[in-house]
Every structure is written in structure tokens, then in C-alpha cells.
A = this chain, B = another copy of it.
């Protein structure tokens, strides 16, 4: 006989804390102190239905995996659970209003447009999680900005009637030189989560990299693949290597074609925009003083298992437990690319984790411009596949990366935004727009296939100049009258 809402409701305290998720009750009293997101957020739902909050940030197998089965209390008769009269906040009402008037999909002409729409229609906390970066978000913005420092030197009078921008990545033939990179918590943006991206990737024949911190479970995402669709796996390495081993070997068995080990995140970043979005103005603890708050946003809550001790020697171990190609994701300087090659891995992703980890880390594209000349000097440029992610928004960005020597680029946030705003049609259109731009860009730079892209087609002299202007002359500027255009006649 199922439990009733009333029974569950009694266990609404730190001393005895039950919660309902997807129609089942769980006793999480003992789990409270271990919860990576802190006990506070669970206690908010003590004795209540927590499904809506739980759903987007926990894969479906979470409770099975992490909560002792003795604490699984079984079915609840949901008809007996009191519906909370949720009062819609003014903010939420405005959002609902914006959703009603959101632009139609055809009005999105480029990848930035999806972001503009998503910002208006996503929940504030979801937007904050996706869009935030580390510290002052300087690196996050630099990532796209860096592409603006690379200019083209196009060739003319080349027959570009037929353009072929297919390429291969880790042995897989793809339609366009990018892959959908791993991003966490897809259900914050769309109720179906990462499988939406799986379907679009299939449709456009590009590779999807499956995130460790997905909202869907790994198997759900693999299951969503069709035919010979290729997927890769992104891995945060668990402190418990046995768990890691199990995950990796399971992925290999399921057919994953690449293991991308994240090496730029021994600890997940503090993202203040995300933290600030979580803040609710209840109670004051000025007294608390030096204790910093534990509720540091979604990212850190879900990442406590990551091993900060991961080091080069672990790479040998990985090579011993899997035959999948191993790629280091998050390499940030030429010395480490050389070491990666010497370690025998198959690839590196030059990346700063979308600007979400170390602020003032350089953009992947800048690191690429540092790396390739050194490799070419050694004749090593073909010993490894080099990818770049971060800030890619236009096909011209992809072309720039390939001119400089990348095999392909990873794109993450733009597809999350397209999915959050329009679901799969959004992602499909985003990819199609990239393909259209790619065809145009290849033609205009004078290359009919990706192997023709080379460093003489770009001018990167301004790329590595990290400088700012002398601080502005505020007095001087305020007394200068800017020039004006002709004035209209006065209104009568």
C-alpha cells in the first residue's frame, strides 16, 4: 500500500527528513550532511514533493546509485499529496509573458540570436548556470573576442563551385568540422535534456560528446543515438578509480569512440553570477562572519567527487584500461601539448572550460597559435589531433581554427541556448546556419575543401596582445562635445 502525503509530511525536519521524487518517498535524513549541494536545499522540501527541483540537476539513476536502498520508502499516493499553491513571482510572470511573445525560429539568423532569445525565456537560475563564468568572466568573454583578433587573407579566382567541408575526427567522418561538446545539466534548459542534442547531431552527422554531469543518464544518451552515430565521452575523473574504471569500460562497451579526460578542472570553478542568482533574501547572518556560504551554485554542488590529484601518471593507467582513443580536454600551453604527445594520447582539446574555471586563462584559439608553430618546427604536427573549444559562434571562427591547424572545434553553449529556446528545431536550425555560413566562408576565403585551409590565409598579429587602454580620461571626455549630424528643422 502506497504511502500518503500526510505520512510523508510528518518527516519535515532535520531530525527526520523524507522527500518525494517521481512519486516515490525517500528517507534522506542521514544523507543530509553528505549532499554535495548542502542540506539546506533538501530541507526546503522536507516532507514534500521535490521532483521539480530534483529533476534537472540529477540524472535519473542518482537515487539508485547514491542512496542506500533501505532508505527507498516506496510509492506515494500522489493524490494525497497536497499541491502547493505556488505563487508566481513578478519575475516569473514577466518571463511567461516573454515566452508568449518570443520571436519565431526563422528570426534567428546566427548563433548569437538563440542566446538572445534564450536569455529572455529561460528561468533565471538556469540562465545563470549556463551563462556564467569564473570570477570576472574575462576569459569567458575573451574566448569569442579572441576570434575577432584574427583576420583573413582570402585567395581569389579559385574555383569554389563545389565546396566540401566534411572532415574526419578520430577516424569518424563528419559533415562539418565541429562536434557538440559536453555541457552539464541539459534539463535546466529543456525537459528532455541532452538527448535532444543527440538527435540533432545524428541529423547533421556530427559527433556529440556526452557529459559526465548530464541531466540524462549516460545510457539514456547512448540509447538515443541511431544507426552508426558516433558519440564520445567526457570524463571527470572520480577519486575512486574503481568507479572511474567501471564508467570508462562501460562506455567503451556501449560503443563510445573517444574518451575526453577533463584536465582543467581539479576543482570546479566559482561562478559568482550563478551563486548570486541562487541567493534568496531570507534572514540575515551578518553575525556568521568569516564562514563563506556553502550554496555556491549548481556547479560546485555536483562536482565534489572530482579528483584534484589527477596527474600525468594516471594517463598511463587509462591507457591500460581502455582501447578508446584518449584525448586530454583543457590543455592550455604548448609545453603540455608536447608532453601529451610524448604520453601517447591521441588528441588534446585546447580549452579553458568555456571560461568557467580559471579567469585570465587564455583562449583555446590563442593557445593553438602558440602550439602549432612549435609542433611544425619539430615535425610533430600530425602526431596528434588538436581541437579547440570556447567562443565559437560563426563558421568563420571554425575556419580560423582550421587555418591555424586545428582538426575541428567544439561548440557547447550555443546549442544549449538553441535547445532551451526552441527545442530540437532550434538546434537543427543552429547547425544548419553554421553549415550555410561554412559554405559561404569557404567560398569567400577561396578554398573548396578543408585540407586547403592553411596559416597564410589568416593574419594573427593582434591575437596575443592582452592589453587594455589607459584608464579613461573621465574629466576630459566629459567636457568634450561630440560632433553631431545635421539637425532636423524644429517641429512646428
Contact = CB atoms under 8 A, between A and B. Distances in A.
Interface of A: 98, 100-110, 112-113, 115-117, 119-120, 131, 135-138, 141-142, 144-145, 148-161, 203-204, 263-264, 266-267, 269-270, 272-273, 275-276, 279, 281, 284-293, 307-312, 314-315, 328, 330-333, 335-336, 357-362, 393-394, 396, 400, 422, 424-425, 428-429, 431-433, 436-437, 439-441, 443-445, 456, 459, 461-471, 473-476, 478-491
Nearest to A289: B425
A156 B285 contact: no
Contact of A468 (B362, B469, B484): B469
Contacts of A445: 358
A14 B104 CA distance: 25
Contacts of A136: 394, 473-476, 483
Tell me which of A150, A158, A273, A444 has the highest count of chain B C-beta atoms within 10 A of its own C-beta: A444
A68 B344 CA distance: 67
Nearest to A154: B332
Contacts of A267: 160, 439-440, 443-444
16 contacts: A101-B488, A101-B489, A103-B487, A105-B284, A112-B476, A113-B475, A113-B485, A115-B479, A154-B333, A156-B336, A159-B308, A288-B425, A292-B436, A358-B441, A469-B469, A474-B483
Nearest to A348: B156
A445 to B, nearest CB: 7
Given A290-B431, A470-B467, A487-B103, A152 B358 contact: yes
Nearest to A97: B491
Contacts of A310: 157, 159
Nearest to A464: B461
Assembly stoichiometry (copies): 4
A45 B203 CA distance: 37
A290 B109 CA distance: 12
Contact of A476 (B281, B312, B393, B474): B393
A257 to B, nearest CB: 23
Contacts of A293: 106
Contacts of A312: 157
B488 A98 contact: yes
Nearest to A466: B462
Contacts of A106: 279, 285, 288, 293
Contact of A142 (B137, B153, B471, B484): B471
Contacts of A336: 155-157
Tell me which of A116, A148, A285 has the highest count of chain B C-beta atoms within 10 A of its own C-beta: A148
A266 B113 CA distance: 27
Tell me which of A98, A425, A439 has the highest count of chain B C-beta atoms within 10 A of its own C-beta: A425
A109 B128 CA distance: 15
Contacts of A487: 103, 107
